[in-house]
Structure formats: structure tokens, C-alpha cells
Amino acid sequence: MKEGMKKLTDFLLDCVFPYFCLQCGASDVYFCFLCRQADWFKNPTGIFVHGNEIDSSLTRIISLTKYNSEVDAARLIEDFKYGFINQASTEINVWLKNTAWLNKEIADCDLIIPVPLHRRRFAERGFNQAEIIAGFMSTIIHRPIDFLSLIRAKSTKQQAKLGREKRLKNVIDAFVCKNKEKIVGQNILLVDDVYTTGATLEECAKVLLATGAKNVSSFTLAHG
């Protein structure tokens, strides 16, 4: 009965909000077969930056693809943050699984930590996209995930609305780390959706290193 109701609800929703492919606009599908064959999705090559090249607290900065509003991946990521959360997260999980190098590149990772949202922002949005990505990663690379040790203690302005200088200032002292015993000596993989200026990830890395992490690298879907 429940299943029948869900099918009916899905059918009615499809009538009111029909799907169009997020890339090409083909009807009745969220992401069509042809568009799924694109290299960025089917065989992402990845972007790798070593922290010492850019004077960073992060040992490695790893992303699936580059990010700007013109690349196809941006539509999927924007849907994931602001639109069709369920459909987009299913595709993001497939995208991550399509990444053959993932296991090798982050082989030394002991613990996955998603970049936290402040609890007020979490309540407004209802989910943290970094936690969703981290959950997928944990299943794919078989590493534990820690949602509790890193906390965003200060409610900051949305980074997307600020320039580089202000982004850096905005996140200073925004994070605290508890459960020191879980962090000391660990190789940590910080996970977020997009690396833009890196200000948020850098600040998280500093706090984790100060707590005793051995090293911290970052993984994001895209690199701005």
C-alpha cells in the first residue's frame, strides 16, 4: 500500500514537474544516457595540487574536475546544493564510483571528515552536502567517517557572497575540534563540495593539525 502511494505521488509529481535532462534538456529523464557518456562524468581525470606548491596547510588538494559556471559538472553540483537534491545526489554517487583513481590517490587516509555547517545553517538547509559526499566516499574507499569531532562554532557569512580577502577573514576561528584522541596521528581527508579560494578547507586543516592530526588533505567534487 505504501509502495503504491509512493508510485502515485511520484507519478503526480512527474506530471506537475516533468523532468528534463540537466545537460541537454531531453524530456522525461533527469540525466540522459547520452550526456552520461561525457568524459567529465564517465571518466573524471581529477585535479591534484600539492599543498607545498601553494603554501597550504593541506598536504594534497584533490578534486574530480574544475569548476566554473560554463562546465557541465557545475549544473549537477548546483542541483545538488540548491535543487533536485535526491536525483543529484544519486548521480554524484555514480560520478564518484566512476573515478578509478580514487582509492589509490587517497590510500593513506585513515579518517574522513566532512566540512561542517553551523547548526543554524544546517537547520535552514536541512542537510549538509559535504556530509552526503563524505558518506559516499566512506562506502567507496572503505574508511570511517567522523561527523562529530570538527565543529563549526561560529556562524559565518556565506562564503559565496564574499571576495577572497573577506573569505579568509570570515572563517578565522570558525572551527573547533573536540575528541582529540580520535584525531591525533591520523591522516585525515577533509571533504567538501567545491574548492574555491580554499579558505574554509585551510582553516579546518589548521585546526585539525593543531589538534594533532598527522596530515590533512582535501577532496572536493570541483576546483574553482
Question: Which chain residues interact with Zn ion by CB under 5 A?
Answer: 21, 23-24, 26, 32, 35
Closer by beta carbon to Zn ion, 32 or else 208: 32
- String of b and e for 46-60 (b: at least 16 CB within 10 Å)? ebebebeeeebbbbb
Nearest distance from C-beta of residue 40 to Zn ion, angstroms: 13
Residue 200 corresponds to which amino acid?
Answer: T
- 35 or 150: whose CB is closer to Zn ion? 35
DSSP state of 148: S
Nearer to Zn ion, 22 or 189 (CB): 22
- Measured from the CB atom, is 25 or 126 closer to Zn ion? 25
- Separation CA 171–CA 90 (nearest Å): 30
Short-list 216, 213, 182, CA closest to 58:
216
Q: Which is nearer to Zn ion, 78 or 105 (CB)?
A: 78
The enclosing H or E element of 218 equals strand 215-223
Instruction: CB nearer to Zn ion: give 21 or 201.
Output: 21
- The distance of closest approach from Cβ of residue 50 to Zn ion in the complex, given in angstroms and rounded to an integer, is 36
Least gap, CB of 65 to Zn ion (angstroms): 18
CB of 97 to Zn ion, least distance (A): 20
The residues, ordered by sequence, that sit 6+ positions from 98 with a Cβ below 8 Å of its Cβ are: 41, 42, 43, 44
What type of residue is 159? Q
Nearest distance in Å: CB 31, Zn ion? 7
Phi, psi of 63 (to 5 degrees): -135, 155
Shortest spacing between CB 211 and Zn ion, in angstroms: 45
